[in-house]
Structures are given as C-alpha cells and as structure tokens.
Amino acid sequence: MKSNFATTTLALGLLLATQTFHPLQAAVSGWLNWRGPAQNGSAIEKNLPGKIDAKNALWTADFPGMSTAVIAKGKVYIMGYTGDGPQLKEGVACFDATTGKKVWEKLYLDFLSDTIYKRYATSAPTIDPETGNVYIQDTQGIFAGFTPDGKLLWEHSMMEEYGRLTFPNGRSASPVIDDDLVITRGITANWGAHGPASDRFYAFDKKSGEIVWASTPGAQPKDNSFSHPVLAVLDGKRVLYAATGDGAVVGLNARTGQPIFRVPLFKAGINSSVLVHKNDKIIAIYGTPYEPGQMVALKIPQVTPTNSTDPIVVERKQVELWSNQIRTSTSSPILVGDRVYVTSEVGDLVCVDANTGNVLWKLKLGIEQRNSSPIYADGKIYAPILNDPSTGESGDEAGGGHGALYVIEPTDTEGKIIAKATLEGRCYGTPTAYGGKIYMQTTKKLYCWGSKDSAPKNEDSGAVASSISGAPATQLQIIPAELLLQPGESVSFHIRSLDKNGLTVEQNIDSKKVKWASFIPPTAKVKATMKASFDENGKLTAAPDKVPSAGAFEATFTTADGKEIKGYIRGRVLPGLPIKQDFEAFTLTETTTNTVEQPTPFAYPPLPWIGARFKFEVRDKDGSKALTKTVDNPFFRRATIFMGTPWLKNYTIEADVMSDGNKRKMSDIGLINQRYKILLKGNEKTLEINSNEELFKYSVPFNWLPNVWYHLKTRVDVAADGSGVVRAKAWKKDEAEPTAWTHEVPVKQAHTTGCPGLFGFSPQDMRVFVDNVSVGAN
C-alpha cells in the first residue's frame, strides 16, 4: 500500500501554516518525540534495514528500559535504568547514533514509589526543535530539562512540589513541546482547588522551568495514564488532544490549559495515544487485559467552554463516527494515510480503514502486548511484541524473557512478515526510525540496526509554531502561575497579554502598570490569603513571619484602548524548619455528609500542605484535635502529605500516631523523612523503613496496639561519602523515650534532601490519627 504521508516531517507545521499562526523554521531536525515527526508513528525515512537480527546489530548498549529513542544531530537520547535493589537508578542517557558510545547520562534514585517488577523508564525524552534541549520525566516524578550536552537547565520534583502520585505499573508521561512550553501530565493531589486527586496537565516555560499553567480537564481518575498529547489547531486555538485516567478523550487549549471538551468512553483509564485523522476526527482505542474495549472514531467536538476550568462534556453518541471491537490497554495505534495499524491486546497486528473503521486484516505476532507500539517508515511496519512466541515464554515482568521485533510489508489485504529478530529482554518500548537506522530498547539492552553511512531522508523538521497574535487582548498570563516562597523571599513575574484564543498579543507587559489584589476564588473551601505583598515594581515578597500561608492574587491591566484584562496566580509560603502543628487552632466548622458515618464536625487540613485535602480532616479525638484519615472514598485510602519544601535536609521528624481497629485489623501510619517512609504497619505489627515498596523495604517486629497513642520519631544521617543511615524509634506516648533507636537501616547512597511529610493507609476502613507534628534540625 502506498502512503499519502505528507512530505514535511512535522504535520503540525502544515496545520499551523493554514491557520492564524506564524511558523518559524526549526533549528533542530530528527525524531524528536516518541510519536515521531508527524505525531502518529509514521515517518518518511528511506533506506531502512529490512533484514534484522539480534546478532548483526550495528551496535548494542547495556541500558535496559521501556522507552523510545529520540534522535537529533547524531545523538540518541533514551530513558533507562542501571543497578538493582536499593541502588537502582533511572534517568536519561545520550549515545552516539553511529557508534553507540555513551556520551553522558543523568540518573536518579527512586523514592517513595510503589513501582514494581522494574517497570522503570516507561516514558521517552523529548527534544526541543528550537534549541535541541532534552526534557524528561522519571517514574518517581523528577521532571527536568538538559542541554544537548547534558547540563541541567532546571529540575522539579513533581511529587513533592505538586503531589504527583506513583503507581505499581510505573507508567509515566513523556513531555511534549509547544513553542516556548514543555508540557507534562500525571495524577496529582496538590493543594487548594487542585487538592482532589485528578489527571492533570502542566505547562512550564521550557527555558526557565517556571510553571505557566495547570489544567484539570477530567473527572476523578480510575487509573493513571501516559497517553501522549497530540498538538493541533481547533477554531483558531492551539490545542492538544489526549486520553485520560478517567476513561475519556479530552481537548484543551495548549497555550492556557483551558479545558475545551471531554468525551467519556470507558470505565477505566485510557493509556493509548490518540490519532488525528484529516484534522476532523480523533481515533482512540481502549481496553484492559481483562475487560473488552474498542477502537472508536469521534468527530472533533465544536464547542465553546463557559469558563476557564470546566470542559464541555460531550456524549459519545453525539460525535461517534464508527467503532470496532479491536482493543488494547497500553499500546498506541499509528496512522499511515487512511490506514490505522495497532498491535492489539492479544498480540495481533491489525489494519483498520480510518474512514470506516472496517478491519482489513489481522496478523498474529504473539499472545499478548504491553506498551510497545509499531512504527511505519520506508514502506515497512516495525512492530515489537512483548514475548517472542517461538520461545514459549509469557508474563510481563520486566527483568527477563525475550521479545521480538517484526518487519512487515503491509498492503490493503495482508501484512507480510519479511523479518523477525528475537531480542534479549522483553519489548515494552517502541522503535525509532531515523538516519537509515532502527533503534529498539528492551528490558535488557538498546539495539541499533542499519548502516554507519546512512543519512536522514529529510533534515528539515518543518515548522515550529510561534504563538503570536494580532487580535485584541482579553486576558493576562502570569509566569510563574504558582509559586512557593519562604518568609522574606521575593519573586518577579513575566506578564504577557493573550487574545481570546490564548495566543500572545504583548509578550512583555511592564509589571509597574499592573494592579494586584488578594483574591479568594468563590469556590474556595478554605477562605485564606497568602501572607505576601507587592511593591511598586510588581515584585511579590513574602511576609517575614514564620507562619505558613496560601492563597491567590488577581492582576489587572488596562490596555491601550481602555479595556481591563485580568490574570491570576496562586502560591504558598512555607517557613522551613522548625515545623510544628498540634491542630488546636483549627475551628471545626464543617460537617461530614458521607454515608459511612453520622454527621461529624471537622475542619479542612492546613491549606499549604500538599495532598491533604479530602484524605485527612481535623477532628476531635480523645479530648483534643488531631489529623484524622478519611475512609469514605476508596480512592483515597492511601494518602501522602508533604508539608515542607523538597530541598530540606538534615532534620528529625516526630509525631503522635494511632490506628483504629482490633487485634486482627489495623491500618498503617507513618512519617516521611528525606524521601524515606517510616511506617508502623498495623496488620503486620512491624516498624518499616522504605523508599520503594519492592527495592528498598526493611522492617523489624513491633507489636503495637490499636486505639493506643504512640510516638514515632525518625532522622536521616548522611556521611561525607554519600552513604547514610535511616533511623526510627516508636514507643507508647505515655512512656519515656527509649535511648536506642528501634530500627536503623544503612544506605550505600542516601537521599540528601527531601520534603517532610505524613502517610496513612486505611485498606480496611480503620482510621489513623496524627497529632503534635514536629520537624526540627538535627
């Protein structure tokens, strides 16, 4: 079959050229993101190898993972991991594209995650077409930017700064670049309006790392999702389309984060990336290993949201064009002209007519599939399969096994296998085709096939969209949009005006001409203000008082034609050490309305704390007030709170803790110290120190009782050589503190910083309680 694939290597550039945007020439060419130059798994590369074998690879590298290589200027960038057990590190490495020589790497220890079976490096790096800079997101939520030669530009701990959650499947989103923005996603439980756990998108300035917007386009998630956004144009707006953890397909404004529409499709989260066909339909696919799913085509909804935070919910029946019974849980489809190819959940490579949804043919490759997606280039499909069927192996543990990479020639009537390579390690990643070479990572190594002398078919990466508008300004965009300050600390802002579509009208507004006022959103459950003030130059300075606070500000600017336009920021002030909280100052003005208990007075937890809202409440307990775990929502049974900054170190944290229950049924309660979790485990009757549920977990017996207050205390000591010891002790609150530590765990390479926090897990609806929290310097 001949493809009508466009001659440019960036389909978005063609879309933008026909709209009101102004394309700029890209400075960097290559395969810059895991979905390829056309955002759909297709490329115009030529002279790619048709015969591949694991033994005749051009080169291999011992860098296992589940990622996809991205390539620019003769360099290959890919996520991966090294080491094992507590010393396992995940991150990005750069290799010479021709020789496979490692040029640089940046790796991070896992922390506070429940990732299992070495399900690391599921995301892919993304290369900025303007600068060549490289952006990554690790499994534990490290989100960072690097220069092409590996120099760190900026770094965020999305878990500690925005409440990003981790999951046993390890699925992590790959960043996407839009002009000056780098966008990522994840399920987060932050603070304030973003306190409830939800699948959110975040945009940062790609050069400074400052946050530009955050968006919540979906409902309560049912699973995490790493569906990669597709950039497009809709009604004059730069938009992105993606599937979400609540089982929907959403569209939002890529410049402002404003949700536009949401189409619910499935009762579980959707992980596969969507396709945009002929710029008028979205093709999505969903399913799980245990439940039926579908492939469905949706007419792109033409709707206008009524506010800046809520999408228009569109019923599937209003926009469905066709559907079929092909399903997959995590593999993504690709688009070649009017043909969709996907490796289904049961290991079939399937060809579908994108106009009608008719299944044209199926080709059995294996018995199951996870994550890996095919690509198309040079008239061939390169399709990985999780387990090579010829080996008789099955299962999806990342550590061993053999996957396979097929080379297939497609027509409208069949797919013909012309080569198959049995590879060391299972195939979770997606291949890359660029410069006459094919790259493929397994859970054992990175492979490269092709000729040393091959050159890319087209060195022009097409257009990079510029988001400049000549329309009237209707709103302000203030950067950073969210901030964290210490008492007395100051910050200045970059302020620009946008038109109604979110495009930039004026890039740099004089901050002296902007008026600021404290702002309490009408929907705020806690009516609070941030203890900070603006000076005449538009600089915000936190009050010197060592008191935590949180709130928002409204900015007003008068345009040249006399029109007032507004913008908003929100922020927190956290005083650093010491931190003390006994909850006695809280007034219990709220009343529970759930169905699992009688109406009970409560107060919301401290507003500046991340991850606390709806998971904990302040209630009366034993004659005083205490932080109390909620149990009415099963999704919130496991809860982590962060109450400081990620750069704190060398501190001791302690608190009074208790669990409801009986001799057979209790919950878990603990503290977080410098990226280590110290837990009293109820049903196991142990004191545990962990930083990962599988790789770093050590416990000692501790026979604690239900409905009895205990005091839990921990510190982390780090030596000059980077090694350390995590120490913990627990005792009944009304008894004297023991001299010796109850549990001490030596660490070869210790975490040197980390946000203090609290943890509660109530799997059997037994509440846990925390009181008299104290964090102080060692």
Strands 686-692 and 676-681: antiparallel
What residues have CB less than 8 Å from 634, skipping those under 6 apart? none
The C-alpha atoms of residue 425 and residue 442 are separated, in whole angstroms, by 5
pLDDT digits (tens, 9 = 90+) for 145-168: 999 999 999 999 999 999 999 999
- The structure tokens listed for 69 are 């290589």
- CA nearest to 363, candidates 354, 350, 373, 376: 350
Distance of CA 316 to CAs 265, 291, 353, Å? Answer: 7, 19, 20
Structure confidence by residue, pLDDT tens digits, 510-554: 999 999 999 999 988 899 999 999 999 999 999 999 999 999 999
Which of 231, 228, 224, 226 shows the shortest CA–CA distance to 246?
A: 224
In sequence order, the 6+-apart residues with CB closer than 8 A to the CB of 700 are 686, 687, 742, 743
459-503 confidence digits (pLDDT tens): 445 445 667 878 999 999 999 999 999 999 999 999 999 999 999
More confident residue, 291 or 320: 320
pLDDT at position 656 is: 98
Q: Quick check: 760 and 657 in contact, CB under 8 A?
A: no
Give the pairing of strands 312-313 and 259-264.
parallel
Mean pLDDT of 188-198: 95
State the pLDDT confidence band at 29, using cuts at 50, 70 and 90: very high
433: number of CA atoms within 13 Å, CB side?
27
Q: Which long-range contacts (CB under 8 A, 24 or more apart) does 699-702 make?
A: 699/743, 700/742, 700/743, 702/730, 702/742
pLDDT score for 596: 79
pLDDT at 22 over 70: no
CA 411/CA 357 separation, integer angstroms: 16
What is residue 278's predicted lDDT score, i.e. its pLDDT? 95
Length of the chain in terms of residues written: 778
Instruction: For strands 532-534 and 540-542, give the pairing.
Output: antiparallel
User: Does residue 144 surpass a pLDDT of 70?
Assistant: yes
Nearest to 268 by CA among 281, 283, 287: 287
Name the residue among 280, 263, 171 with its Cα closest to residue 217: 263
Q: Which residues lie below 8 Å from residue 343, measured CB to CB, with a gap of 6+?
A: 328, 331, 349, 350, 365, 369, 372, 373, 374, 383, 384, 385
The total of other beta-carbon atoms located within 10 Å of residue 101's CB is 11
> Looking at residue 290, what is its pLDDT?
85
Please say if the pLDDT value at position 188 is more than 80. yes
- Say whether 145 sits in a helix, a strand or coil: strand
Q: Over 90: is that where the pLDDT of 34 sits?
A: yes
752-765 average pLDDT score: 95
Distance CA 219, CA 638 (A): 19
C-alpha to C-alpha distance for 516 and 13, rounded to whole angstroms: 38
Quote the pLDDT of residue 699.
97
Q: What is the pLDDT of residues 646-670, one digit of tens each?
A: 999 999 999 999 999 998 999 999 9
Give the β-pairing of 22-25 and 564-573. Answer: unpaired
> How many Å apart are CA 227 and CA 326, to the nearest integer?
18
**pLDDT band (50, 70, 90) for residue 6:** very low
Rounded to the nearest 10°, the torsion over CA 632, 633, 636, 642 is: -60
Q: According to the model, what pLDDT value does residue 453 have?
A: 82
The full DSSP string for 681-721 is: ETTTTEEEEEEETTTEEEEEE----TT--EEEEEEEEE-TT
Which residue from 470, 480, 465 is spatially nearest to 504, judged by alpha carbons?
470
Q: Are 527 and 561 in contact (CB under 8 A)?
A: no
Higher per-residue pLDDT: 430 or 291: 430
Q: Which residues pair with 95 in a beta bridge?
A: 76, 102
* Contact status, residue 285 vs residue 266, Cβ threshold 8 Å: no
What does the pLDDT read at residue 12? 41
Radius of gyration of the chain (CA): 26
Strands 757-761 and 638-642, by their bridges, are antiparallel
Q: Could you give the CA distance from residue 717 to residue 719 in angstroms, rounded to a whole number? A: 7
Confidence of residue 267 (pLDDT cuts 50, 70, 90): very high
Residue 19's pLDDT band, with cuts at 50, 70 and 90, is very low
**Does the pLDDT at position 15 exceed 70?**
no
Residue 56 DSSP symbol: G
Q: Are 124 and 138 in contact (CB under 8 A)?
A: no
Q: Looking up tokens 């404004």, which residue turns up?
A: 253
Based on the number of CB atoms within 10 Å of its own CB, is 459 exposed (0-12), middle (13-18) or buried (19 or more)?
A: exposed
